[in-house]
Chains A and B, each alone.
Chain A
Amino acid sequence: MNLPAWLPALHDLPGLPLAGQLINLCAAIMLLLAFAMLAQRRIVTLINLFALQGAVLCLSTAIVALSTGQSHLWGSALLTLLLKVILLPWILHRLVHKLSVKWDVETLFNIPTTMLVGIGLVIIAFNVAQPISEFAGTITRSTIGIALACVMLAFLMMITRSKAVPQVVGFMSMENGLFFAATSATYGMPMVIELGVALDVLVGMVIFGVFFFQIREKFDSLDIRHLEEKTKQE
């Protein structure tokens, strides 16, 4: 089968063991979820998608851990499960409930344009990741491009949303992509770094939570465009 070189995920399909195929599946779902988040207008669904992405990340990490015997990856998987699947979505849900901001997400650009830009980003990400994945010696190396694409799509989501909560979700989704990239390129970062990053995300969440309340108290809305007007006046 002569597949084009820019599709590394499928390139070495024949002969790939089951674990590798499962990881590729997870990667595909991650990318799909990233696009879903980019297209999603409702905040509650967005949070659910984020939790789902976390779950897929957790699953793929666990598969890598099982197939390669890297025991510290179990720790990362557990951390992901606790933090990104359970704790953060719960906090976000509670925030949204308390702030009663279940309304539709307004985007700065319309959704189809964003999706098109996203596709362009994925192509760039694959091209960029190709030389890296040639160096990586892991069974998951074909997914680096997807991980990078997830990071970029999350970044794009942060740019295109005008409400504060989706931006935070984008921020944390970016961290998901980063984590995935680390797992696929080098079997995860050292545990210390992973713990540190996880803590950062948690602290970031708390700070954002405080900010949300402050913003709303000040402007009666979570729309950051009010903040922009404020800075312009000053």
Chain B
Amino acid sequence: MSPLALILLCLASWLAIGLIGAFFSRQFVLVARILFPLGALVGISVALAALSAIFTGNETAMLPLGLPGLPFHLRLDALSAFFLFLLGAVAAGISIYAAGYFRRGQGSTPGLQCLLYHLFLASMGGVLLADDAYFFMVAWESMALSSYFLVTSDHRIAEIRRAGFLYLIVAHVGAIGILLSFGAMTGGTGDYTFDGIRTNAPEGWLASAALLLALGGFGAKAGLLPLHVWLPEAHPAAPSPVSAMMSGVMLKTAIYGLLRVTFDLLPEQQWWWGALLLGLGLATALFGVVFSTVQSDMKRLLAYSSIENIGLIFAGIGLSLVFAANSMPLLAALALTAALYHCLNHAFFKSLLFLATGSVLHATGQRNLGRLGGLIHRMPWVAWLALLGVVASAGLPPLNGFVSEWLLLQSFLFTPQLPHGYLNMLLPVAAGAIALIAALAGFAMVKFFGVVFLGQPREEHLAKAHDAGRMERLGLIWLATGCVLLGVLPNFVIAALDPVTQLLVGAGFAQVSASGNWLLLAPISEERASYSGAIFLGGLLAFTLALFLVVRTVFHGRLRRADAWDCGFPLLSGRTQDTAEGFGQPIRQVFAPFFRITREHPSPFDKEPHYRIVVEDPLWHWLYLPLAWLVDLGTRVVGKLQQGRIAIYLLYSFVTLLALLVFTTR
């Protein structure tokens, strides 16, 4: 069986699982304990089939579905296979986790969740397989709609409905952009297959218009500045497996779409596209990371961190475009490898972290960082696995986040070879910005992990928190293993990325693992820079072990437990710790112009002092509210036409008819 057929079968089985779930929607045990694990198995087979397809090359098919005379075209090439691997591998972990996560009597019925969730998975697969604009849009919109209903599964809460609505609006504005972009790319030939677009692709300003529209459309889905506003709203609103799926995989489908359009469908790349993407990506990343450091809601913090990672990926793609437009394929491949690698890494560690927040939420009922703390003693499994995700997300070796950020920085260091004077001067600044972003991401992750899991419990009831169940643990372990393996064995990943970059920019790094030196990653040359996750891990483990033994034997070897913070002050409680707000305060001061802060200081004579601070997104006030006001004004003007009288309505059509008759026959 060919990989494409196998993947199609898998997508069909996802749909079937969803339908069975909807049919037996009240059978909780069937849905949660059988269907979701089955979905995870399907995910693993998608990942395996896609992994083999990365190397076997192109395969096309035609599905006799859709409209008469307009069948669905499918194609499985290295790019879609890579993203399908990502989808399958991450979905497997999340599905297993979801099997343990959904509880009775929470949100909508589990059967409905099961249907929507698997529809969501299958439509993402459809997006990745589509080989014509028609099927692409069908799958894209099914993805948007099913995820909207998943986000609003707790639709009885007004805030969640509002968040879902915002998501729906941004998703549809983006879809319009994508649709128009496809329209611009066909150039009026009416051939909407990707093959047709490749042969008739426009050049000059029409190509640029198509790219800008696609950038707007896919950027809205990915959370690119200034279309990011839905992310921090929708992620906290959605159930945790859904947030994990959206952040881990759905954002990557937007990356996939942008790569497909810029490198595959449009024949010639302009260097300023790359510069634009790079600038937007860096701005997004900086914005996201600065906001993630000041959040007090753990899922919101992770959502902003997703924005940051998407920004980094966009910056990598932009840099790759700059290199590609200047015919430097090897460097373009390096930057693209970094971006793709980061896609994979982010999918793993961000899903892991979102799932961890789900477990915390289930155990404590709290998303607010100010009411958590000390959970490492109550939930050791979740805490240690989340630590792996945190380290990966902070971009520390030996985990996977470091590898891709290191590759990205490496590719930035080659920019002096570019023939553009201004770019040569500006790109080192961008490299500096990436270093700053990575550092701030580390800060945000320390805050996340430290406030939730370390220290003392800030509330009484946290003592009763329970660890994650068996299924949940399995899902977390799956994703954490992915993080470790991706970090320790980068050469295999880069070798697997070689067909993708060969397809897109015509160069790759297959030789890094072919040389037999699988331990040491040195993409350009060993003299220049090299890194080995495995050696680092080994060294780290050896050092830790040695340190442990030394402390154990040389030092007194006794373990003494005493009250925390007990430095002679008798009246200290769990509340006497650095809060989430306090921890983020330095960043809030340094980056004050980024925020829109409203603060209420308590009066010194207040018996029950309250300190309130609200940090808002200034773009909301500068861009979205004026836009909403304009739309409101416009509809009010148009609303004057609505008189509620039938005769008036008839008169409108009559006058239109007359005007058309008189003016068109002239």
Task: Please report A residues at the B interface, Cβ cutoff 8 Å.
Answer: 108, 121, 124, 128, 131-132, 148, 152, 155-156, 158-160, 162, 167, 224-225, 227-228, 231-232
Contact = CB atoms under 8 A, between A and B. Distances in A.
B647 A159 contact: yes
Interface of B: 644-647, 650-651, 654, 657-658, 661-662, 665
Nearest to A227: B646
Contacts of A108: 647
Contacts of B644: 228, 231-232
A135 B644 CA distance: 41
B650 A131 contact: no
B49 to A, nearest CB: 49
Nearest to A161: B647
A162 B647 contact: yes
Contact of B647 (A124, A148, A160, A232): A160
Given A128-B661, A158-B650, A224-B646, 13 more contacts: A124-B662, A128-B662, A131-B665, A132-B665, A148-B661, A152-B657, A152-B658, A159-B647, A159-B654, A162-B647, A167-B646, A225-B645, A227-B646
A155 B647 CA distance: 10
A148 B661 CA distance: 10
Contacts of A124: 658, 661-662
Contacts of B654: 152, 155-156, 159
Nearest to A157: B650
Contacts of A158: 650
A131 B646 CA distance: 33
A117 to B, nearest CB: 11
24 contacts: A124-B661, A124-B662, A128-B661, A128-B662, A131-B665, A132-B665, A148-B661, A152-B654, A152-B657, A152-B658, A155-B650, A155-B654, A158-B650, A159-B650, A159-B651, A159-B654, A160-B647, A224-B646, A225-B645, A227-B646, A228-B644, A228-B645, A228-B646, A232-B644
A155 B652 CA distance: 11
B665 A128 contact: yes
Contacts of B662: 124, 128
Contacts of A167: 646
Contacts of B650: 155, 158-159
A179 to B, nearest CB: 17
Given A160-B647, A232-B644, A155 B657 contact: yes
Contacts of A121: 658
Contacts of B665: 128, 131-132
B650 to A, nearest CB: 5
A220 to B, nearest CB: 19
Nearest to A167: B646
Contacts of A131: 665
Contacts of B645: 225, 228
Nearest to A229: B644
Contacts of A232: 644
For the complex of A and B, the 3 pairs showing the least CB-CB separation, nearest first, are A231-B644, A159-B650, A128-B661
Contacts of A228: 644-646
A131 B661 CA distance: 11
Contacts of A132: 665
Nearest to B642: A231
A75 B645 CA distance: 39
Contacts of B661: 124, 128, 148
A156 B645 CA distance: 15
A131 B657 CA distance: 17
A128 B662 CA distance: 6
A231 B662 CA distance: 33
Contacts of A159: 647, 650-651, 654
A152 B654 CA distance: 8
Nearest to A109: B647
Contacts of B646: 167, 224, 227-228
A157 to B, nearest CB: 10
A151 B627 CA distance: 43
A160 to B, nearest CB: 7
A224 B645 CA distance: 8
A124 B660 CA distance: 12
Of the listed residues A108, A121, A159, A167, the one surrounded by the most CB atoms of chain B closer than 10 A to its CB is A159
Nearest to A108: B647
A148 B662 CA distance: 12
A211 to B, nearest CB: 12
A116 B658 CA distance: 16
A227 B644 CA distance: 9
A218 B496 CA distance: 71
Contacts of A162: 647
Contacts of A148: 661
Contacts of A128: 661-662, 665
A4 to B, nearest CB: 19
A155 B661 CA distance: 14
A147 B658 CA distance: 15
A160 B651 CA distance: 9
Nearest to B666: A131
Nearest to B647: A159
Nearest to B646: A224
B339 to A, nearest CB: 53
A231 B644 CA distance: 6
Contacts of A227: 646
Nearest to B644: A231
B39 to A, nearest CB: 46
Contacts of A231: 644
Contacts of B647: 108, 159-160, 162
A108 to B, nearest CB: 6
A61 B422 CA distance: 79
Contacts of B651: 159
A144 to B, nearest CB: 12
A227 B646 CA distance: 9
Contacts of B657: 152, 155
A5 to B, nearest CB: 15
A51 to B, nearest CB: 23
A222 B374 CA distance: 73
Nearest to A129: B665
A200 B644 CA distance: 26
